[in-house]
Amino acid sequence: MPEEPPTILVVDDDQFIRELLRRVMEKEGYKVVEATNGEQGLDVYQRLKPHLVMLDALMPVMDGFTCCKHLQKLSDEDETSPDSEHLEAQGLQGVSQTPVLMITNLDDPESVDRAFAVGATDYITKPIHLAVLRQRVRRLIQQFQLYQKLEQANRELQRLATLDGLTGVANRRRFDQYLDDEWWRMIREESPLSLILCDIDFFKKYNDTYGHQAGDACLRRVADALRFCAKRSVDLVARYGGEEFAIVLPNTTTIGASLVAEELRSLVHGLKITHAASAISEYVTLSLGVASLYPEPDTPPAKLVAEADMALYQAKASGRNRYVAKV
Ligand code: GH3
Ligand code: MG
């Protein structure tokens, strides 16, 4: 698939300039779209998300300075990645935003300063020196595309850094972070937070009987089942340790969490993963501990984990393949 050419948005009330810029830029291989004033420019920007905006300063309806200010805001709203903060901390302010090149008759120092103050990336004056324009455009678009790629790569890295490599559910690091975040959110909302800790029964024997690779495959299937059960967008399934998983259930009471726990138990048992060495079933089973509380600022989230762990211990001690809820 050939890559789409970068798009340039030309905002100018002068038809002659628009046509000139279109001709020159299309010859360079770019796609060109036009707007005749700032307001229209913002509208086209939002619809087409161009790679560069060429902006005239003086236009009817909305001038270039005002338009540029609005463009910065829109561009900021588009930024979802925390990398932009990173880049800005390194003094690379605005590098990840759509570049705005002001092309204008105004060459007094105040206008130049004003343009940069409202967020213009670069500034050239009319009459346009076409060779200079071509080079500036090429550089601005190259830079923008480079930062877009960098941000995408960083986002992917960040995503991978929060996942467990074997099962694809959240890893322990993400779990700790999420539990802490939700702890504080539930304090603000005065809402209950539940946690289920679950552990595969006689998993050491499973490994000993079927081998480590089969053990890994079993972990993956159990993780998929857990993910299937924890349906709400705020629920988080994480691999807590070797064969132990955790499910964080915000805005959920003991009753709700117990229902989920029983569903998980029954689903995993229903997978019918043969486990000939299990002392309690012919299939792989789970033991689960449920804890739920209304978080408070002077209690650490570790309290919830400790309670769920205690309940899990009781589920093991009282026969496995069951859940116990801390009351
Ligand atoms: P219980 O019913 O009391 O939970 O007994 P158990 O055998 O499941 O518990 P134990 O803690 O004695 O053993 C856990 C086993 O889980 C031992 C370890 O080799 C296995 N395990 C941990 N992580 C992995 C993994 O990533 N892959 C595989 N295949 N096995 C793992
Ligand atoms: Mg176990």
pLDDT of residue 325: 97
Considering the chain, what percentage of its residues have pLDDT values greater than 70?
Answer: 94
Q: What is the mean pLDDT of residues 242-267?
A: 97
- Which-ligand-closest: CA of 205? 1
Ligand 2 geometric centre to CA of 200 (Å): 4
Residues of the chain with CATH 3.40.50.2300: 7-161
- CB-based contact 47:98 (threshold 8 Å): no
User: Given a cut of 80, is residue 208 above it in pLDDT?
Assistant: yes
Q: Is 272 left (phi over 0), alpha (psi -120 to 50) or beta?
A: left
Superfamily of domain 7-161: Response regulator (3.40.50.2300)
One CATH from 3.30.70.270, 3.90.1150.10, 2.60.120.260, 1.10.443.10 for 172-325: 3.30.70.270
Considering the chain, what percentage of its residues have pLDDT values greater than 90?
Answer: 72
pTM (global) more than 0.85: no
Mutation test of ligand 1: which of 197, 206, 207 has the most ligand atoms closer than 8 Å to its C-beta? 207
Quickly tell me which residue has 């857990």 as its tokens.
226
What gap in Å lies between CA 164 and CA 260, rounded to an integer?
A: 22
DSSP assignment of 203-235:
HHHHHHHH-HHHHHHHHHHHHHHHHHH--STT-
Residue nearest to atom 26 of ligand 1 (CA): 242
Extended beta strands in the chain, E state: 7-11, 31-35, 52-55, 100-104, 122-125, 193-200, 236-239, 244-250, 286-293, 323-325
β-strand 323-325 against 286-293: which pairing, if any?
parallel
Q: What is the mean pLDDT of residues 243-264?
A: 97
pLDDT of residue 109: 85
Q: Does the Cβ of 243 fall within 6 Å of ligand 1?
A: yes
Mutation test of ligand 1: which of 204, 208, 275, 278 has the most ligand atoms closer than 8 Å to its C-beta? 204
User: Given a cut of 80, is residue 259 above it in pLDDT?
Assistant: yes
Q: Does the Cβ of 216 fall within 6 Å of ligand 1?
A: yes
User: Given a cut of 60, is residue 279 above it in pLDDT?
Assistant: yes
Ligand 1 geometric centre to CA of 184 (Å): 33
Higher pLDDT, 83 or 217: 217
Ligand 1 geometric centre to CA of 104 (Å): 70
Q: Does the Cβ of 164 fall within 6 Å of ligand 1?
A: no
Show which residues are catalytic: 243
Residue nearest to atom 21 of ligand 1 (CA): 242
pLDDT of residue 126: 84
Ligand 2 geometric centre to CA of 201 (Å): 4
Q: What is the mean pLDDT of residues 184-203?
A: 97
Atom of ligand 1 nearest to the CA of 218: 29
Which residues does residue 102 pair with via DSSP β-bridges, in sequence order?
55, 123
pLDDT digits (tens, 9 = 90+) for 89-118: 554 445 568 899 998 888 888 888 888 988
> How are strands ordered across the β-sheet holding 286-293?
236-239, 244-250, 193-200, 286-293, 323-325
Residues of the chain with CATH 3.30.70.270: 172-325
Atom of ligand 1 nearest to the CA of 166: 26
What gap in Å lies between CA 243 and CA 226, rounded to an integer?
A: 13
Q: Is 202 left (phi over 0), alpha (psi -120 to 50) or beta?
A: left
Q: Does the Cβ of 203 fall within 6 Å of ligand 1?
A: yes
User: Given a cut of 80, is residue 83 above it in pLDDT?
Assistant: no
Phi, psi for 275 (deg, rounded to 5): -140, 85
| Alpha-carbon torsion (45, 49, 50, 54), positive or negative | positive
What gap in Å lies between CA 259 and CA 247, rounded to an integer?
A: 13
pLDDT of residue 1: 61
- CB-based contact 99:53 (threshold 8 Å): yes
